[in-house]
Amino acid sequence: MAHEQLNPTIDKILANIEKVMIGKRNVAELSLVALLAGGHVLLEDVPGVGKTMMVRALAKSVNANFRRIQFTPDLLPSDVTGVSIYNPKEMEFQFRPGPLMGNIILADEINRTSPKTQSALLEGMEEASVTIDGVTHKLQKPFFVMATQNPIEYEGTYPLPEAQLDRFLLKMKMGYPDIHEEIEVLNRAQKVPPIEDLQPVIDLEGLRALQQEVKEVFVDDTIKRYIVDIVNRTRGYGSVYLGASPRGSIALMKAAQAYAFIFGRDYVLPDDIQYLAPYVLSHRIILKSEAKFEGITSEEVVNRVVNRVPVPVQRLVK
């Protein structure tokens, strides 16, 4: 949809990110979709392809508080959320916030830590708060998590259960740069990293205003029916053991609203649904073991489902 006119503020944020990221514009766009929709991203990729740099650039562009958590097997839940420490002078417990108490969080290699520590992060993602020693602490708004997991190192890892995968609005891969992009990476590596010179495009108040505008993007009833038809088809598809839940329908609608907003529209098109469906639904379905054995992927199944559902043809603009 490159022919459409980008929202001017979004265009500036993407331009900022592209000062430090070579290529991968679709990854930056999808990350903004999740941020504007109030969701989170799971990035399954190898180390060294620029995930940290992209999230830092995004945080700088919106003047947000950036935190990075490196997940390791010995990481404790309190290392993520924070801990209450007794202060003998005040004769009371005082809360020391952990790295989760930021606006934009990079949760690196989330599948290398224990399920107990994973759940501490995922509680924050779902509830926008964390509970420590029986006291609930609200997280800052906006709150956005980009979690990464390594697709290669399965030994010594704790794969996320399906119920926890469902907490992520989008799942995607960044991939290696092509030859020309990698040469440009080398050229930039010889100079001062441009990340240090990035200036904010908007502040957090402006970002919260954009998130509210996204909620106002119009979704026609025919589009809602289209979303539900796609999600419902995943539940009866031959290769699928467990289809997407109603949460998948909600996620697809919210992502489509944000995607339409990014491209300067106040209404959702069927094209938005078709493009986003694999990113929103593929991690929400469980394939049958025989399908996995045959090498069928969740993305392929979602694309096949989308291709089988009739596209609405009614007028969709308000």
Confidence category of residue 4, pLDDT binned at 50, 70, 90:
low
Q: What is the DSSP letter of 187?
A: H
- Compute the mean pLDDT over every residue in the chain, rounded to the nearest whole number: 86
pLDDT digits (tens, 9 = 90+) for 22-44: 778 889 999 999 999 999 999 88
pLDDT average, residue stretch 93-119:
86
Provide the pairing of β-strand 144-149 with 104-108.
parallel
pLDDT average, residue stretch 164-175:
87
pTM, 2 dp: 0.88
pLDDT digits (tens, 9 = 90+) for 57-99: 899 999 999 999 998 888 888 888 888 787 787 777 777 888 8
d(CA 201, CA 205): 12
Q: Report the alpha-carbon angle 30-212-4, nearest 5.
A: 45
Among 150-154, 267-271, 295-299, the least confident range = 150-154
318 pLDDT above the threshold of 70: no
Q: Left (φ > 0), alpha (ψ -120 to 50) or beta: where does 264 sit?
A: left
Comparing 208 with 181, the larger pLDDT belongs to 208
Radius of gyration in angstroms for the set of CA atoms belonging to the chain, rounded to a whole number = 20
**In order of start, what are the domains of the chain with their CATH numbers?**
8-77+103-207 (3.40.50.300), 216-308 (1.10.8.80)
d(CA 312, CA 314): 6
Comparing 248 with 178, the larger pLDDT belongs to 248
Among 223-232, 234-243, 268-277, the least confident range = 234-243
pLDDT average, residue stretch 133-138:
79
Q: Are 306 and 230 in contact (CB under 8 A)?
A: yes
pLDDT the model gives residue 86: 77
- Cis check for the bond before 310: say yes or no (omega within 30 of 0): no
